[in-house]
Structure 1
Amino acid sequence: MKDPEEFDAFYKDARARLLLQAYALTGDLPAARSSVRDGFVLAWHHWRKVARTGSAEAWVRPHVWQHAHRRHTARVWHREKGLDPELQATLEALGQLSTTQRRVLLLAHLASTSMPELAREVGMTDEAAARELQHATAQFSLHRGAPSTQTSLLLRRLESVTGEVRWPRASIVRRAGTTRRRTHTLVGAVATVAAVGVAGALLTEPAGLRPTLDRAALSVPSAAPTTPAPSEGALAPAPEAEPLPEAAMVPASAVAERVPGQGWSALETTDNTAGDGLLMPCRASRYADPQVVDALVREFSVATPGGSGPKAEPKRLAWQATEVSRSRKAAKDGFRTVEGWYSGCTQGRTQLLRTSTVQGVGDEAVQMVLRNWADPVRTYVLGVARSGRYVTTTLTSVLGNSVENPPGNAELLAEAVDALCELEPGGACATGRVRLAPRDAEPVGDAPRLLVETDLPPVSTVERPWVATRATRPRGGNPAATRCDQTVFTGKVGGQPVRDASTRTYLVPGAKLPVEFGLSETVGTLPARQAGGFVDTVRRKMASCEDRELGSEVVSTLSRSNGDTELHAWRVSIEVSDDTVVRYDMAVGRVGGRVMQVAFVPTPQVQMADGAFAALAERALERLRAAP
């Protein structure tokens, strides 16, 4: 049984401290008061769990601070009218600090946490948190124009404002928490009934709490309001869900345990409503779910060595992004969106190296390894997972070509899921045994059977990105054919027409390359038997090319068959004059009745690395196989 007396005592004891902290964090008294109330409503909802934590206040505080922070992010630093100039100066000095600096300062001076507790709450190592506290204290002292020894006194003087707040009775807070719990139970019951096919029932939503990403004030409305669709950067109203606490994000210690590098620390954690929202590489929009309920993004970094210069990039970076969707279906769509961002990354010169399913993590999870070939080269390991209505993404980045510990990155993703799965809209957790299984790249683009720019490797001496032309029907020939095979994707094969033929060319605009340089791919569909004959015909032509084309040389570089899947590649050299030799890399393959041909024409100075074309041919087969 819940203990009302124990909760009431906690409410009366802690509310003033939490209000002072939330007010100092935001400078917004109405938002701070509402956030404290919301935090206690949430605490009563989960009181059985909260009472067992050993520190109910430490459990509530992140929720209160998160509520308060979200409520004032849509406007400039709040200014109370008619405030005492000394108190106003204190708020202004706090407003000059970053959110992380304010948090560590307030945890140290108003929450009286130990350094390990402070570090854990802000997601830093003890050393990084201590440095951040020193920096925050110095900055506050500078902006306030007061000695650092007076920091606690100046902050506590804000009690003259917060002490005048009138509070609802504890019984009212408990009643709201009970209503919230009943609403969750009713929504869960309705979902269960719907799952077994009971249709036609009309549900009128009872009074309850509807947190939003910017944490609109909790209330008990008489009827559900009509809410317009949010604009970019706005945050949608939510069905029942716990606020996403910063404690549900992985700490720097978790990154340090699983990813190489010394001195990992967490930088600022935000809800990603500021700026363009593109904090992580390859992201195409602020949120994967345009109707997102709640979101947090946290960045991690390894300290730059001393003497590296003011513009030196940290060797290693990492991020975590978590979103809460309105429904499991919306979360599934958001998961697919994140997959698409990275499988078809539009960041110039970024190549997708491989894709794996992460088994044993959440409801679904995937890992991708990418490399950005722009100077300085960076290699990324991405993990994205869904658990119920949560979608969380982890991304680690290192300077250079090293692919650092994919299994460790998978374990990091598992820890991220485990921090979310037991929250209210969570789903499956990690099973304990996390494994990586190779899989095809996620289909992307308006021609998912064809290669995309992210699939293409770099070529020597060229620093510009590949660009794909629009996919078209191969009307005037097949740009992927060589003089040896002269394959066409029009007409009939074995009495059957080639269907759904499509072709595109890949170029490097602005690179001043010879006109013959380029890459082309063509795909089409036949019945499986005719598709096998199509590939056999190309193989026979390539085998006889040296006899038919004087001055030609054909070398097989890849040949494999497995059931209805085949892939074959050749390197071709043809003398077109006494002093001119044209070289090709060409591959043909099929998956069932789907056939493809891809060809690359290098120049003596501009070529792919050894093995790169064979890997590209394998990716072309992946795209062919995975396309819907």
Structure 2
Amino acid sequence: MRDPGQFDAFYAAARQRLLLQAFALTGDLAAAKRSVRDGFVAAWHHWHKVARQEDPEAWVRPLTWQHAQRRHTAHFWHREGSLAPEHRATLDALDELTSVQRRALLLHLLAGLESDDFCHEVGLTQASARRQLRLATAQFAIHRDIEPDEVGATLLALGDPLEAIRLPRASIIRRSGTARRRAHTSVAVAAVSVAVAGLGLAVSHDATAVASIGGPRGTAVVDTGPGAPTTTAHLDPADLLGGSQVAHLAAQPLSETSTGNNTDGTGLNVPCQARRFADPKAMAALVRHFSTPVDPKKGKPTGLVQVVERSADAKAAATAYDATLGWFSDCAGTRMQLLAAYQLAGAGDEAALLVVRDWASPVTTWTIGVARTGSLVTTLARDVADDHGPDLPPFVSTVGVAVDRLCTADGGTTCATTPRKTLGAPPPGPSARGMLQAVDLPHLTGISLPWVGTSPTKATTNPAATTCDHADFSGSDVTSSQTRTFLVPQAKLPTQFGLSETVGRFRSDAKADAFVSGIEKKMKSCEDRNLTATVEEFRHQPAGPLGETHAWRLSIDVSDSRTIDFWVAVVRRGPVVAQVGFVPVDKARIDQADFQALVERALARLENLPPA
């Protein structure tokens, strides 16, 4: 039995406090008033449950804050003529804080909660919540130009202009709550009737959501149309992975070290990341970092980071997903190497897994999963300070868990089933599409400088050819061609050192096949034609669904005491042929396995070629 008198007393005692909190959170008085009204309407709707709470206000407050964030207009107070300058200054200072910092400050000083109590509401550990509160207090004091011990009084002063605000009478709130309860009951009865009539057929309603920017940093908002139930769309820290979901990804326990909306610092959380946000118009973002204790043997802990971005819609998120993957083909100027690329099936709408190694000391191996569910893109990156191959199955499983925690959140759609990885094409590079990138090239023992690639040019000559094959990509059967060369320019290596690739598109599959066959014949007959040459074919993969591959090691004696080695390969996929040639020197060599892996990457890169 719901007691109107008990509710009315609660409403009278709590409404001004919640109005002040909502106003301080958003700076939008109209949104704050409406959110308080809606919060208490929902409370009366559920009063049989709320009344039994130890602190009913703790039930209403999160709902009120969510409604306020959903409705408010950014920097609304700048257009509010009746607002005093000191109150505008307070709201400006609050706007300088991150979403997490602002919520922590208001929960502590306006809601009266200690960090141990509000850490769950902001999705942080107790230690992180205390740290964010300290930062928020210091930052607010700086931006408001006051002493830290004046912060509480300054925030409470925001309530002065709210004293004259008239909120609906308790009886009006109760009538609205009762009407809402009846409406929900009617919908439930109708749904049961449909289910019975359909003999158990499941019926679902798919409301179209329209997203718009309107919340504070780190928050997105959604309206579901006139008359639809009030919903809030934002990135909730509770939807990120927690310690129990990531514990198996490291030999030692992974502990959360921070959670934020990626507005602090550089905003660069994963290797090769080109900019703070993959979607420049992202509506919201969250980043959570984990770390293990320092390993005394290796000196560097295992790290883990999860990044989530919310785009306006699934189309914009798909673009952000592609941009995120593209970062890992554009690691120019670094010693990063993309070791492997996989597609992940069963992990949201689309997903991929990459293994990247940073050869700079200490050698670090990164395992990176990127997945999209609806308008949400999440990136999970683990770094381990070693040069061993990572254990991938547990990581693949964790990507699925990350998707499952997001797929039912605002903006999420497709959940995970049982994620499975299959080798796939690497992400396209920003330039030289379809060709090798610097990140594909193997590590050179003893060389601490990065590979640098030239810009692609038309293949009027072919630097990847050898004196055995003389392959020419400028003939009439070639409709388009490009060539580029990779060097380590600051390493002061002999001039013959270098790695080159030439790619040509032929008029037909048959023309390309004939071109490759011609190279094969020339390489087989090279020893007969050049007595100083030794040719060893170590890779022969006939044409199949993924293409064909041929690779040779060529040695030419230029004197009694000097021999020049060449690694050369040719790959074909349909009408497209690529030739790769590498000339090592004593100070910069790679082994056969590394070159073979590079040739397979060149074949995979052909999938990145734009349409003819």
TM-score, normalised with respect to structure 1: 0.72
Aligned to 2:253: 262
Aligned to 1:382: 368
Matches within 5 A, 1:198-237: 212-215=212-215
- Over residues 85-138 of structure 1, what are the superposed CA-to-partner deviations in whole Å (9 max), with x where a residue is unaligned? xxx9x9999999976566556556765779887444444446665787799899
Distance 1:483 1:420, change over 3 A: same
User: What is the CA-CA distance between 1:589 and the residue it aligns to?
Assistant: 1.2
Cα distance in 2, alignment partners of residues 51 and 608 from structure 1: 73
Aligned to 2:188: none
Structure 1, 129-138 or 482-491: larger mean CA deviation: 129-138
User: What is the CA-CA distance between 1:34 and the residue it aligns to?
Assistant: 3.5
* Paired letter, 1:467: V
User: What is the CA-CA distance between 1:250 and the residue it aligns to?
Assistant: 0.5
Aligned to 2:201: none
**Of 545, 555, 575, which residue of structure 1 is paired with 2:536?**
555
Cα distance in 1, alignment partners of residues 552 and 77 from structure 2: 59
Distance 1:256 1:161, change over 3 A: farther
> Is residue 502 of structure 1 aligned with residue 482 of structure 2?
yes
> Is residue 461 of structure 1 aligned with residue 449 of structure 2?
no
- Over residues 16-51 of structure 1, what are the superposed CA-to-partner deviations in whole Å (9 max), with x where a residue is unaligned? 444555567x6x7x3487357458759979999999
Cα distance in 2, alignment partners of residues 43 and 536 from structure 1: 78
Cα distance in 1, alignment partners of residues 366 and 29 from structure 2: 39
User: What SS does the aligned partner of 2:501 have?
Assistant: strand
* Paired letter, 2:260: T
Contact 1:36-1:64 at 8 Å conserved across structures? no
**Of 233, 248, 251, which residue of structure 2 is paired with 1:243?**
233
Cα distance in 2, alignment partners of residues 508 and 315 from structure 1: 30
Matches within 5 A, 1:479-490: 479-490=463-474
In the alignment, structure 2 segments of 5+ residues that lack a partner are 184-207, 225-230
Aligned to 2:308: 321
Cα distance in 2, alignment partners of residues 317 and 405 from structure 1: 14
Cα distance in 2, alignment partners of residues 553 and 567 from structure 1: 20
Contact 1:268-1:298 at 8 Å conserved across structures? yes
**Of 603, 617, 627, which residue of structure 1 is paired with 2:585?**
603
* Paired letter, 1:34: A
User: What is the CA-CA distance between 1:452 and the residue it aligns to?
Assistant: 1.4
Matches within 5 A, 1:577-596: 577-596=559-578
Distance 1:332 1:267, change over 3 A: same
User: What SS does the aligned partner of 1:382 have?
Assistant: strand
Distance 1:566 1:99, change over 3 A: same
**Of 331, 339, 344, which residue of structure 1 is paired with 2:325?**
339
Q: How many matched pairs?
A: 557
User: What SS does the aligned partner of 1:441 have?
Assistant: coil
Aligned to 2:522: 541
User: What is the CA-CA distance between 1:474 and the residue it aligns to?
Assistant: 1.4
Cα distance in 1, alignment partners of residues 71 and 388 from structure 2: 42
Cα distance in 1, alignment partners of residues 321 and 500 from structure 2: 31
**Of 468, 471, 495, which residue of structure 2 is paired with 1:515?**
495
Q: Percent identity?
A: 34
Distance 1:17 1:134, change over 3 A: same
Matches within 5 A, 1:79-118: 100=100, 103-104=103-104, 107=107, 118=118
Contact 1:123-1:266 at 8 Å conserved across structures? no
Distance 1:416 1:574, change over 3 A: same
**Of 574, 580, 603, which residue of structure 2 is paired with 1:621?**
603
**Of 456, 465, 469, which residue of structure 2 is paired with 1:471?**
456
Cα distance in 1, alignment partners of residues 60 and 345 from structure 2: 37
User: What is the CA-CA distance between 1:516 and the residue it aligns to?
Assistant: 0.9
Distance 1:424 1:302, change over 3 A: closer
TM-score, normalised with respect to structure 2: 0.73
Cα distance in 2, alignment partners of residues 553 and 49 from structure 1: 85
**Considering only aligned residues, what root-mean-square deviation do their CA atoms show, in Å?**
5.0
Distance 1:600 1:617, change over 3 A: same
Cα distance in 2, alignment partners of residues 479 and 356 from structure 1: 31
User: What SS does the aligned partner of 1:435 have?
Assistant: strand
User: What is the CA-CA distance between 1:70 and the residue it aligns to?
Assistant: 10
- Over residues 150-206 of structure 1, what are the superposed CA-to-partner deviations in whole Å (9 max), with x where a residue is unaligned? 99999889867766655467769979x99xx9xxxxxxxxxxxxxxxxxxxxxxxxx
User: What is the CA-CA distance between 1:480 and the residue it aligns to?
Assistant: 0.5
* Paired letter, 1:408: P
Distance 1:238 1:23, change over 3 A: closer
- Over residues 563-584 of structure 1, what are the superposed CA-to-partner deviations in whole Å (9 max), with x where a residue is unaligned? 2621121222212223332111
Distance 1:269 1:482, change over 3 A: same
- Over residues 392-426 of structure 1, what are the superposed CA-to-partner deviations in whole Å (9 max), with x where a residue is unaligned? 32223333334544333333333333333334543
User: What SS does the aligned partner of 1:557 have?
Assistant: strand
> Is residue 567 of structure 1 aligned with residue 549 of structure 2?
yes
Distance 1:356 1:164, change over 3 A: farther
User: What SS does the aligned partner of 1:534 have?
Assistant: helix
Cα distance in 2, alignment partners of residues 21 and 521 from structure 1: 62
Cα distance in 2, alignment partners of residues 383 and 6 from structure 1: 52
- Over residues 218-249 of structure 1, what are the superposed CA-to-partner deviations in whole Å (9 max), with x where a residue is unaligned? xxxxxxxxxxxxxxx99999886943132354
> Is residue 429 of structure 1 aligned with residue 429 of structure 2?
no
Cα distance in 1, alignment partners of residues 450 and 359 from structure 2: 9
Aligned to 2:288: 299
Distance 1:22 1:83, change over 3 A: same
Distance 1:532 1:215, change over 3 A: same
Structure 1, 420-429 or 15-24: larger mean CA deviation: 15-24
From the CA coordinates, give the structure whose radius of gyration is larger: 2
User: What is the CA-CA distance between 1:325 and the residue it aligns to?
Assistant: 1.9
Aligned to 1:450: 435
Contact 2:237-2:286 at 8 Å conserved across structures? no
Cα distance in 2, alignment partners of residues 209 and 46 from structure 1: 25
Contact 1:18-1:36 at 8 Å conserved across structures? no
User: What SS does the aligned partner of 2:577 have?
Assistant: strand
Structure 1, 11-20 or 380-389: larger mean CA deviation: 11-20
* Paired letter, 1:282: C
Cα distance in 2, alignment partners of residues 382 and 289 from structure 1: 18
Aligned to 1:34: 31
Contact 1:384-1:393 at 8 Å conserved across structures? yes
Contact 1:289-1:325 at 8 Å conserved across structures? no
User: What is the CA-CA distance between 1:623 and the residue it aligns to?
Assistant: 0.8
Cα distance in 1, alignment partners of residues 37 and 209 from structure 2: 13
In the alignment, structure 1 segments of 5+ residues that lack a partner are 182-207, 217-232
